Each structure stands twice: as structure tokens, then as C-alpha cells.
Chain A
Amino acid sequence: MTAGGGILHIEEPPEELVASGGLFHGFQLWVNLPARLKMTQPRYQDIRAGQVALLTSADGGALLRVIAGELDGHAGPGVTHTPITLVHATVSPGAQVRIPWRADFNALGYVLAGAGSVGAEHRPIRTGQLAVFGAGEAITFAADKKMDGPSPSLDILLLGGEPIREPVAAYGPFVMNSRAELVQAFEDFQAGRLGTIPAQPASSVVPQDPHPGHDVL
């Protein structure tokens, strides 16, 4: 979702899921916009599990899901104004993966579940840890031979993008270039210029759509 110049939104579990309870797991990433696109028109892209590009590593030991941008020439469905690559990899126990990574992008690896190592130096990494990679053209990561935790494999998110290299002024739900722009954002929100909350519950104003929202990727 591109917030751009401003949106108002809500993210909630559907009523049937509230009633039943159950497993919930995911992530939300914020990608910055350059100054010239801060106030761009908002837009929304809904991506389903079947749309991601599926690849494997050299020895077939890992599933690589390209969510956004491209990896080794294979494009995923997600599109952002700022060029990025976002890959969700599931690595089998004991498997090692080496993938090319654009030299002009930064490179991060975040472990969603499981344990393994990152880099040619095999630095240990586990659930809830982030690896910051330095300059170069390739990334290496591996899953431990034996998983101690509940996850049967290493689930790692690889992400990188083209740096914007501008000042960042961020507060709460706004990411701007200066404090004055943040103040303006608050004023615009309070004046209703980022939209107003529908009088009816959101669920009753959504048309008869069998897939209301982004679920099950």
C-alpha cells in the first residue's frame, strides 16, 4: 500500500477469526518514499499466495519466494515506487544458499523462524534477529542441521532496496523529510484531509467481494 500524500485505514481480523482464535503470523515493512513522491496519490495492491515467483537454490535445498522486486532476473508481483527486492526463503535443515544481490541495494536478513547462520563467516542467527550485510554482490545464508525450536526449517526474509539518501523525519504514522512536514501531516490529519472514517463499520461498506483484503500469502 502506498500511503503517499495520505490515507486512513484499518487492519483487523475478520469476525469469524476473532470468534475462533488461531494462529496469526506475518510482517509489515515500511518502505520510504523520496521527497518528490511523498505526496503522491495513494494506491493499493492485493497479492495472493499463488502470485509470488517461486525459485530454488543451486542444490534445491531452499524455497525462495520473490514477493517484490526481482531476484536473479525473476520478478515477483509486488511493486513499490522505490526499487526493492523482498524474498521469503524457507531453508531445509543443513542447506546453504548463495544468491546474487544487486550491488546498488542495501541487504538485510531477518529470521522469522528457526536458526542458522549468515555470511561466508557463518555468523549464528535465530528467530527475531536481523543481519545487516555490507557491500558486495552476493549473500550467503544457511539453516542449522538440527532445529532446536518448533520450526522445522529456517524461515528468513531477505530484503534490500535503493537507498534514498535524504533526511528522515518520522513520528508515529508519518515519515517525512522535515519536522515542519510532520507538523503539516498532523494538521492535515486533524482537519480530515487524509480521509474520514466511514459512518458504517468497514465490513458493511465493502461490496460483495469473496476476498475482502489481503490474507493467506
Chain B
Amino acid sequence: MPAITVENLLVLPRVTGPAPLAERPVVKVTTAPSGLEGEGFPVRRAFAGVELKHLDPFVHMDQMGEVEYAPGEPKGTPWHPHRGFETVTYIIDGVFRH
């Protein structure tokens, strides 16, 4: 993955293990079902089946790909509206024009 990487991690500031802090238990592990978004790019619905009380303030997340497109195959979305929330889009491989 070409997300930003660093050759020598030891030069970075360290987040030290917070020994006296209370450990968060794992309440559940769910598996994201696959689907299609926009004009048909493959996604995983990360939050499917999880109650809102666990997600709040998040409402939805799609993992886009990972997919190896053949020439002519890359897809996006048509023009569409949004209201009432904020999005954070993170591209690890490839380009999305927005």
C-alpha cells in the first residue's frame, strides 16, 4: 500500500503504552458484507449490523476496494446530493477526483 510510509520508524515520536489506564474490552467483532457503490465500484459496508449506540457519532463507512481494475474499468459516482453530516474520504491507492 502506498499510504505514506517511513523507512525508520524509530525516529518518530512514540505513543507510549498507557500502563495505568483502563483497557477497553472488545464488545464484538463483525464482518462487513460486500456491495457495490456509485456506478458499481466494490465496497465493504464496515458498519453493517452494528447498533447506532456503538457507532455514534459515526453513521456509515465503506471500504472502497481494494480492487485491481482492468483498463476502462475504474468507476466513480454520478452527481449526487448530501445533507446533515460530514464525510472523511481517504485514498490509499489510486485517485478520486472530487
Q: Which residues of A contact B (CB under 8 A)?
A: 1-14, 17-33, 38-39, 44, 49-50, 52, 54-58, 60-65, 67-68, 71-72, 74, 78, 80-82, 84, 86, 88, 90, 98-101, 106-108, 110, 112-113, 118-121, 123-125, 128-140, 151, 155, 159, 161-165, 168, 170, 173-176, 181, 185, 188-189, 194-195, 197, 202-203, 212-217
Contacts and interface: CB of A to CB of B under 8 A. Distances in A.
13 contacts: A29-B58, A31-B85, A44-B98, A61-B9, A99-B15, A99-B17, A100-B18, A106-B55, A113-B1, A138-B22, A173-B81, A213-B96, A214-B91
A27 B83 contact: no
A113 B14 CA distance: 23
B83 A132 contact: no
Interface string B34-76: 0000100100101100101011111111111111111111111
A18 B72 contact: yes
A31 B97 contact: no
A99 B18 contact: yes
Contacts, number: 379
Contacts of A7: 81-83
Contacts of A129: 29-32
A3 B82 contact: yes
B79 A10 contact: yes
